[in-house]
Amino acid sequence: MWAAVTQRSEALLKEKNLLTDCLNELEKRTGVHKHYIASGTLCITVLYLLFGYGASLLCNLIGFVYPAYASVKAIESRNKEDDTQWLTYWVVYGLFSVAEFFSDIFLFWFPFYYAGKCVFLLWCMAPLSWNGSQLIYTRVVRPFFLQHEAAFDSVVKDLSGKAKSAAHSAAKEGFTLLSSDKDK
């Protein structure tokens, strides 16, 4: 297993992208090998998630920044599979965020909660066929949605009708106020 991790990290550090460009530049300027820079940064990040003040912000940045970047890249590509992958991630991320909002007062007190949350989010975005977002979507979200799809459609239709009616009334009221101000 360790050999596979080492081989994968070697391959990642040889890819051409913004991160490896930055690591190469840091290596050139400091004389410290990029493997050590990457390992040190990873260790500091993990320690900060375990013991640092503001670990919540770091965890949320990890769960948002790369997926947002990958989502924009997916939108701009012609490939439909990457769109589906990242839409699935965002559905699960949103569901997790709503659940966390209601349970955060209790979860906050668990030691290393943010490190666990970060591992969960990394699992959800991992480029694996059994990643978290795919697994949670196919086993939990999709069956629940399909079972209650008609009720969801009815609520959405009702709410969109009410929103259109409210917008129409507000616009009509606004035009009435504007025309009465104009007459003055």
Measured between alpha carbons, how far is residue 95 from residues 44, 90, 92, 136, 166 in Å?
29, 8, 5, 10, 28
What's the mean pLDDT when you consider all of the chain?
84
CA distance 91 to 148: 16
Helix (H, G, I), strand (E, B) or coil at 129: coil
Looking from the CA of 179 toward its CB, the CA atoms found within 13 Å total 6
* Whole-prediction pTM: 0.70
* Mean pLDDT of the 151-161 span: 88
* Mean pLDDT of the 151-164 span: 88
Helix (H) or strand (E) holding 117: helix 113-125
Q: Quickly state the pLDDT bin for 142 (edges 50, 70, 90).
A: very high
Q: Quickly state the pLDDT bin for 1 (edges 50, 70, 90).
A: low
